[in-house]
């Protein structure tokens, strides 16, 4: 099909909930993707932080292909070797205990919320309230969009589930004031992604951990975007010297194959019994094979170190652009290969101009350019993006 025919067919038949760009992608290789007309794009969005190994990674393709020829799905009524290997790996790398496999980040957060409430009711039947931070993003199911403290995602879906409250991110005193005897959990992203690559203050997460310990409150960290090496360590919380009670994963976990997970300490997970939670597709053999391949590639290819090194290199380049265009860029922030450039104007036109020049980036929170490329990129790819950005900003 020609590009315009594809776009028209989708627009005629798909619910109009996405603001899409007018290109149709056909295939990818490494950090590049190609549209149906053969145009090449450097992908620094990576399916919104999903394609951590880039496109067409041989080990990931082989793992999926081999597993598809053996067993794609069998439900969780039966054990599989690929799931056994994955949950063992996730339990080990997280420093936590038990794993539940889901299909998406929203499902993972939904499960974490259920687990937290069930656990807290052992302490006090009234402990049902979840506190999250303004400008967060935790998903689009009814409970997770309620946890998402952004009215634009909630509008039109009232009545929302009860038991959620919100505080400003990075304000420990506001958080302390919001805690009550009914608080069962605090749900945070270590670095807010969709909210604009908002960084925690140096000691904020440690103070939150301490507060949770003092008040018998569970700390749930949503690492759906920051996890799987995105910030230079497998989990962002490792860089802040804390361990949550529950951590949630998705995006990069399957390298593009839909999968999610939440991992909890043995103590917290112990409240779940047979029938308390479930998923027909979650953790199926195909998704687990993909995730095992991603974990192995991150380890064998040194992608954590690459994310740190290339993230620092990229951030320095963005700071050079900030110095060159101080009226357009006011701040560069982020960790590893999760970076943002705060603009003084809406970013959509810049994103469109980069796309026209063959570079895919994205704008979040309206005025923050977001860069979440594959963890496999090299300096030449960063230089290519910086050159395009320089050209685009120079024309404004």
The reply to whether 279 and 229 lie within a common domain is yes
- For residue 342, report the phi and psi dihedrals to the nearest 5 degrees: -75, 125
The reply to whether 207 and 126 lie within a common domain is yes
CATH number at residue 312: 3.90.1150.10
**Annotation-wise, does 290 bind a ligand?**
no
The reply to whether 196 and 86 lie within a common domain is yes
**pLDDT tens-digit readout, 236-249:** 999 999 999 999 99
The reply to whether 165 and 261 lie within a common domain is yes
The reply to whether 46 and 72 lie within a common domain is no
Rounded alpha-carbon distances, angstroms, from residue 291 to 167, 249, 268, 282, 310: 34, 11, 24, 12, 23
**Annotation-wise, does 140 bind a ligand?**
yes
Residues (pLDDT < 70) of the chain are none
Which pair of tokens denotes residue 106? 């929203």
Q: Residue 310: is it exposed, middle or buried by C-beta count within 10 angstroms (0-12/13-18/19+)?
A: buried
- Dihedral sign (CA 44, 49, 54, 56): negative
The reply to whether 122 and 205 lie within a common domain is yes
Locate tokens 């995006």: which residue? 251
Of the candidates 395, 112, 133, which has an alpha carbon nearest to the alpha carbon of residue 247?
112
**Annotation-wise, does 225 bind a ligand?**
yes
**pLDDT tens-digit readout, 257-288:** 999 999 999 999 999 999 999 999 999 999 99
The reply to whether 104 and 176 lie within a common domain is yes
Its domain, for residue 240, covers 59-301
Which pair of tokens denotes residue 207? 């103070």
**Listing from the earlier edge strand, what are the strands of the sheet with 40-43?**
25-29, 32-35, 40-43, 359-360
How many structural domains is the chain composed of?
2
The reply to whether 89 and 196 lie within a common domain is yes
The reply to whether 96 and 47 lie within a common domain is no
**Annotation-wise, does 233 bind a ligand?**
no
Alpha carbon distance 257, 268 (integer Å): 28
CATH number at residue 130: 3.40.640.10
**Annotation-wise, does 106 bind a ligand?**
yes
The reply to whether 310 and 281 lie within a common domain is no
**Annotation-wise, does 141 bind a ligand?**
no
The reply to whether 43 and 96 lie within a common domain is no
Alpha carbon distance 327, 394 (integer Å): 11
- Helix axes 379-394 and 348-356, enclosed angle (nearest 10): 120
Of the candidates 274, 374, 396, 324, which has an alpha carbon nearest to the alpha carbon of residue 52?
374
Longest dimension (CA), the chain: 61
pLDDT for position 83? 98
pTM of the model: 0.97
Tell me the three-class secondary structure of the chain, residue by residue: CCHHHHHHHHHHHCCCCCCCCCCCEEEEEECEEEECCCCEEEECCHHHHCCCCCECCHHHHHHHHHHHHHCCCCCCCCCCHHHHHHHHHHHHHHCCCEEEEECCHHHHHHHHHHHHHHHHCCCCCCCCEEEEEECCCCCCCHHHHHHCECHHHHCCCCCCCCCEEEECCCCHHHHHHHCCCCEEEEEECCCECCCCCECCCCCHHHHHHHHHHHHCCEEEEECCCCCCCCCCCCCHHHHHCCCCCEEEECHHHHCCCCCEEEEECHHHHCCCCCCCCCCCCCCCHHHHHHHHHHHHHHHHCCHHHHHHHHHHHHHHHHHHHHHHCCCCEEEEEEECCEEEEEECCCCHHHHHHHHHCCEECEEECCCEEEECCCCCCCHHHHHHHHHHHHHHHHCC
Which of 301, 319, 353 is the last residue in one of the domains?
Answer: 301
**Annotation-wise, does 181 bind a ligand?**
no
Which of 273, 301, 329 is the last residue in one of the domains?
Answer: 301
pLDDT for position 323? 98
The alpha-carbon radius of gyration of the chain (Å, integer) is 21
Which of 242, 271, 301 is the last residue in one of the domains?
Answer: 301
The reply to whether 292 and 306 lie within a common domain is no
Rounded alpha-carbon distances, angstroms, from residue 150 to 166, 220, 242: 10, 19, 27
- Catalytic (active-site) positions: 137, 222, 251
**Annotation-wise, does 279 bind a ligand?**
yes
């Amino acid at each position: 099909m020609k590009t315009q025919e594809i776009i028209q067919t989708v627009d005629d038949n798909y619910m109009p909930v996405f603001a899409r760009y007018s290109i149709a992608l056909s295939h990818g290789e490494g950090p590049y993707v190609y549209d149906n007309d053969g145009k090449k794009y450097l992908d620094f969005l990576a399916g919104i932080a999903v394609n951590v190994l880039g496109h067409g990674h041989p080990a990931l393709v082989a793992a999926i292909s081999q597993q598809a020829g053996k067993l794609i799905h069998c439900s969780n009524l039966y054990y599989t070797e690929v799931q056994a290997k994955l949950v063992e790996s996730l339990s080990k790398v997280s420093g936590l205990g038990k794993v539940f496999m889901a299909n998406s980040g929203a499902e993972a957060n939904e499960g974490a919320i259920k687990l937290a409430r069930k656990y807290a009711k052992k302490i006090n039947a009234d402990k049902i309230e979840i506190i999250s931070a303004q400008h967060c993003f935790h998903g689009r199911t009814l409970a997770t969009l309620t946890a998402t403290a952004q009215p634009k995602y909630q509008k039109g879906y009232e009545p929302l589930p009860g038991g959620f409250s919100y505080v400003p991110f990075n304000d420990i005193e506001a958080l302390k004031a919001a805690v009550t005897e009914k608080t069962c959990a605090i749900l945070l992203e270590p670095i807010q992604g969709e909210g604009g690559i908002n960084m925690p203050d140096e000691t904020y997460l440690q103070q939150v951990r301490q507060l949770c310990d003092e008040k018998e409150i569970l700390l749930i960290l949503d690492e759906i975007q920051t996890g799987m090496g995105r910030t230079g360590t497998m989990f962002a919380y490792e860089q802040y010297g804390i361990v949550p009670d529950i951590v949630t994963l998705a995006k990069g976990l399957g390298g593009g194959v839909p999968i999610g997970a939440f991992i909890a300490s043995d103590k917290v997970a112990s409240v779940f019994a047979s029938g308390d939670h479930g998923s027909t597709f979650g953790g199926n053999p195909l998704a687990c094979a993909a995730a095992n391949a991603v974990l192995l590639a991150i380890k064998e290819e040194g992608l954590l170190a690459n994310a740190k090194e290339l993230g620092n290199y990229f951030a320095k380049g963005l700071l050079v652009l900030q110095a060159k265009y101080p009226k357009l860029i006011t701040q560069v922030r982020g960790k590893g290969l999760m970076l943002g450039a705060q603009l003084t104007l809406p970013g959509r036109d810049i994103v469109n101009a980069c796309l026209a020049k063959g570079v895919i980036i994205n704008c979040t929170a309206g005025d923050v350019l977001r860069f979440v490329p594959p963890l496999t990129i090299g300096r030449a790819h960063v230089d290519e993006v910086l050159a395009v950005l320089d050209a685009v900003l120079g024309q404004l």
